[in-house]
Amino acid sequence: MKNIVLFGPPGAGKGTQAEILKDKYDLVHISTGDVFRYNIKNETELGVLAKKYIDAGDLVPDEVTISMLQAEVNKNDGVAGFIFDGFPRTESQAEALDTFLAEKGERINGMVALEVPEDLLVERILERGKTSGRSDDTDESKIRNRFNEYNTKTAILKDFYEAQGNYFGVDGVGSIDDITNRLSEVFDKL
């Protein structure tokens, strides 16, 4: 199996690229955002809880996120692998994912990170907010809070995966095709 963590700050293009790459490499795309939106829309117990955090611009607690993602992986036995988009976001989530995959005889092949300047990301998210229906995409202060959360809690995952020799940074600025080509060069080696 090929298991990839597609990484980057909010608005970096992870979802767009994951949709393209899942088809190219026959992988299952597990988007934390999509899983959250499904649970929120259907007002599941986890969805109601997650919505409170998201509306405040905060990250959803690890226990909630991990439970949702494990259920998604377990729904897809016998696949070629996964693209994890938006997960893990903390070192404890990364450790939980490693443990969970190891129990299945699998591992993360690499963390591939889209690297984009923050000011460009704010512009992208505000533009996305016009059509996304996400309350946290329309308020610049909430967007900046998400970057603060990302920089203080999530960016440290670069060190976690770098220590394993599994971190690959990719320039996330340019056309969708250019970025896909850069990502594919890394995916082909994993």
DSSP 163: H
**Mean pLDDT, residues 44-63 taken together:** 85
Give the tens place of pLDDT for each residue, 105-154: 999 999 999 999 988 999 889 988 898 888 888 888 888 888 888 888 77
The domain 2-180 having CATH identifier 3.90.1150.10: the answer here is no
Choose the catalytic residue: 124, 128, 153, 182. 128
Residue 134 is among the residues annotated as catalytic for this protein? yes
Residue 89 is among the residues annotated as catalytic for this protein? yes
What is the pLDDT, as a whole number, of residue 39? 85
DSSP 94-125: HHHHHHHHHHTT----EEEEEE--HHHHHHHH
CA distance 137 to 144: 10
What is the pLDDT, as a whole number, of residue 97? 94
Residue 146 is among the residues annotated as catalytic for this protein? yes
Give the tens place of pLDDT for each residue, 5-41: 998 888 899 989 999 999 999 999 998 878 888 889 9
Residue 14 is among the residues annotated as catalytic for this protein? yes
Which strands form 28-31's sheet, in the order they lie side by side?
Answer: 28-31, 81-85, 2-7, 110-115, 167-171
Choose the catalytic residue: 124, 134, 153, 182. 134
CA distance 97 to 95: 5
As a whole-number percent, the residues of the chain with pLDDT over 90 amount to: 50
Position 188 pLDDT exceeds 80? yes
